[in-house]
Amino acid sequence: MLWIKGLHVIFMVTWFAGLFYLPRLFVYHADARDEISHTRFLVMERKLFAIMTIGAVLTAVFGVWMLADYAWSAYRSSGWLHTKLALVTALVVFHLYCLKIMRGFRAGSAQHSHVFYRWINEIPALLLVAIVLLAVVKPF
């Protein structure tokens, strides 16, 4: 089971790396004024999104595997696990919101300034802190 937990953590790191960097690309993309930069950011965002989606899916696969194998029976009445799963759901929603933003840039309909993207860049960091603390400390 430690191998499964290790793989879960490895793919979680991959997913979060993408979640940290993609909004930063949005910041730069929102400031881009020339077509070459716009095209470059579209390619970078698409490739990063693909990699982080693979990380997200494999994080979920190994997380569900751990839940099915031992965690759910041991922790199903624990509030920390339910809270962690709710925060992971919020992370998935943020991931999908990033897809929406990417599509807006691709369609030329992105409406937000670089300041907006700087603010949403903090969301995954806050979720990471909460999720890791819940998983490690198990406070309730």
User: What is the average pLDDT across 124-129?
Assistant: 98
The pTM of this model reads 0.93
Which residue, 136, 124, 125, is CA-closest to 5? 136
Domain boundaries, the chain: 2-137
Q: Which two tokens stand for residue 133?
A: 């603390």
Backbone angles phi, psi at 19, to 5 degrees: -65, -30
pLDDT tens digits along 83-122: 999 999 999 999 999 999 999 999 999 989 999 999 999 9
User: What is the average pLDDT across 9-23?
Assistant: 98
Average pLDDT, the chain: 95
Backbone angles phi, psi at 105, to 5 degrees: -65, -40
pLDDT interval class at 41 (50, 70, 90): very high
pLDDT score, position 48:
98
95 CB contacts (<8 Å, ≥6 apart)? Answer: 15, 19, 52, 53, 56
User: What is the average pLDDT across 5-30?
Assistant: 98
Which residue, 93, 23, 81, 29, is CA-closest to 56? 93
Other CB atoms within 10 Å distance of the CB of residue 62: 20
Residue bearing tokens 């470059």: 40
Is the Cβ–Cβ distance between 44 and 67 less than 8 Å? no
pLDDT score, position 46:
98
Is the Cβ–Cβ distance between 128 and 16 less than 8 Å? yes
pLDDT score, position 77:
80
